[in-house]
Structures are given as C-alpha cells and as structure tokens.
Structure 1
Amino acid sequence: MLQVTMKKRLADFTLDIKFTVENNILVLFGHSGAGKTTILRAIAGLLRPDEGTIIHNERILFSSTDRTFVPPQFRRVGYMFQEFALFPHMNVRENIWYGVKQHDSKSQELYERLLGLLRIEHLTTRFIDRLSGGEKQRVALARALMAEPAILLLDEPLSALDSDTRLELQAELKKIQRIWNIPFVLVTHDLSEAKALGDQFLFLEKGRQIVSPALRLNEFLQCQSIG
C-alpha cells in the first residue's frame, strides 16, 4: 500500500493532495499543469514536498515531521518517463540491463521473462533509433521492471503512440500490473485511456483533488474515486 499526503508550493498554486493506492493502477487525471508530474517526482524522491508523508508498506520514504527523506536510489521506485529516456548509443539489451547492480541467474531469469511477456525477444541487438514507438515503450517498461521496483510511476507512457498501438499496450500494462502486483501510478490527459487503465482515480484541478461531482466525472460513476 502506498500512502501519500503532501503539500508543495508551485508557481501558480499549492499542490495539496492525500490518497492511498493498493496494489493496482491509480490514474492521475487533469489538465496540463495541474500537479500530476509533481506527485510522481515526489514519490520518486526527485523533489521534496513542503509538508506531508509518503509511506509504502509502513516504510517511511518522506516525512516533514521527523525530517525523513529516503534518496531516490534507495526507494525501489521505477519511473517510466513520457519520452522513455532510452540511451541511443546502447542496444535494447544494454538499455534493459542498465542500472541492474547484480548480474546473476535470478536477474537473467527476470530478463528472459520480461522479453517474453513484452514480446521483444527479437529486438535485443537493435539500437533505439531502429525501433517503433510501441517497441520503445516496451523496452522502457522492461528496463523499469528489470530493477524490480516496489512502485512503478508512468508519466503519459502512451501519449506518443498511434491509436491501435495505444490500445494494444493498454492491455499489456494491465497484464503486467496484475503479474507484478505492485502500485502503478499513471499520468494521462486522455479520458478513454484513464477509463481503460485505472482501478482508482485522482482528479486534479490546480493542485487540488476534485471531491464534488463535476460533469466530466460522471463517466466514472461506476469507478472508485479517491478523494
């Protein structure tokens, strides 16, 4: 379970949120600049909230009260960026293994499992500029999971893909999350994508959770809303 309570002063408003996510997919939904990526960066340890706590399975990652701040490299948080952030001078295999500290039989088994799950076995020797958008997405996901994260953050991971590839990879993400059984926190601007992927939803407007029903929330009446 991931529990986040935080305030962070931004340029135009103060981000003020509180949510809990089980081992499923939480979708952060709202207009650009609403504070969604700031939430991901705080969970990852790339910025410090002004106030609050971030706790995963009773492990305190951040607390303003007792001044706890676990550095990013010790949080076991995977972060899949919108632009994938793959290394063009490395092939697919080298990208996936990048950052893995221990090369042993267990990590090799995980590597081979990810290749099979994501159907990228045939791509391992290709360089990044030889991949399609969907292939890059799969490689970026494999690299994030190769680190065996306890939490996975995804910042608009499908936004650059065509509609057919997006639909296919939405199904892949759902399947991977069920297998890994860890919290996924995903940012999207796309309403249909939010509905397709989300188990829980956090609607943001200028840094605040929307609690009262609004027109665009009516489509989610059958879903669980956090707030």
Structure 2
Amino acid sequence: MSNQGHKVAVITGASQGIGAGLVTAYRKLGYAVVATSRSIAPSQDADVLTIQGDISDRATAERVIAACVDRFGRIDTLVNNAGIFISKPFTDFTEDDYDAVLGVNVNGFFRISQLAVAQMLKQGGGHIVQITTSLVEHPNSAVPSVLASLTKGGLQAATKALAIEYASRGIRANAVALGTIKTPMHPEENHEALAALHPMGRLGEVSDIADAVIYLENAPFVTGVILPVDGGQTAGH
C-alpha cells in the first residue's frame, strides 16, 4: 500500500471527455484517483491508478474497488460517470440497444456503488455522484430518449434513496444532470444543432461538469440533490 494520506476518488468512464476532465479536477483537489474504462491507458501519475474493464460486468467493479483499497486504503468518492446514450424513436430500439444501455447505465452503477458504500461505511463516510441527463425531467421531442430516461431516471431516483438511507451515516449521494456537452461523443458537424437545444445557445464544456461535481464534493450539507447543468433546458424554452 502507498499514499495512505490522500483522499481517493473512483471515476468510471474515465478515459476521455467528462471522465478525463473529472480525473484532472480531482487531482487538482489533491485526491488520488482510480480511473476505469474499457480502453483507458496507463497513467504516468503515481497517484492515478487506471484499470481497464467493462463496467457493465460485475467482475470489473469488484476489481476496481479491490485495487483501490489495496493501493490507497480507502474510497472517499465514487463518480458513476460511465454511460451510453442512444437517441432513437422508441419503436426502433433493438434488444442490443436495450442490453447495452441497461448494462452500462444501471448494472454499471449498481455493483460498484454497493462495494463503494460498504467501504465508506467502514471509514465512516463518503460521497457518491451520478452523472445523468436533464432529459429525465425535461424530455424533448427533438431528442427521443426513452432508454436514457429509463436508466438515468432510475439513477436519479436511486440517488435520492441512497442519500436518505445513509444520511445519518456520513455518506452523501448527489447527481449532476447534463445538457449536451462538447465531448468526442458529438461530431463537430452536429454542434450547431445541439447548441440550439439550450436556451443559452451553446454546448456545455467538460469544465462546466467538473466544476459542478467539485462543488458537490465541497458541499458537506448537500445530499440527495439532482443538479442540472444544462444551459437552462430544465427551466424551459
């Protein structure tokens, strides 16, 4: 074991986009980080442990948490950032779409969160953050998204349930509900149309999401909150 003095964050879906931005943000905060995704590369930073794996597979969650505790001795924060978003008319979703989205968005959340909470209870506290979508509360006919709402809506409900179940035991649970963020997921040619969905008329930046998660990290009296970071979409159009 090494680096036992650090606080430690586990971040899923951490190889690019928002996940990579969260790794950087938590390192700036002084946390050691365990970063996982299917294709993540080794880190040159001794305080960043990377673990490749499919988060929809329970074995990946078990490897990530075991490696985190072995290397750093604790888990202070879990950010469930890994997610799949497929926008299709409801009747066009295939079995493969369903299995892929449920696998990452729901199964990927469930086992790693169970293991993290068990460790946090031993330590006397911790924080779990889900990354969701503002489409849960504010669907848009231009972006058909039943599978996103089914899965990320479930995560938002679970976030509140976790917050209340563990409020007296030092574990907080919150979520950040995104608008559309400028990441490798969205090709440049779609940016203008996607920006127009937001009352503010622009896409979000990875830094907007990292700032929101770090706000929640530093807010000890905040739990059970779904924080929209969506350019005003939740408020209206």
TM-score of the alignment, normalized to the shorter chain, above 0.5? no
Structure 2 length normalisation: TM-score?
0.31
Structure 1 length normalisation: TM-score?
0.32
Structure whose residues are more often helix by fraction: 2
Q: Higher relative CO (CA 8 A, sep ≥ 6), structure 1 or 2?
A: 1
Structure whose residues are more often strand by fraction: 1
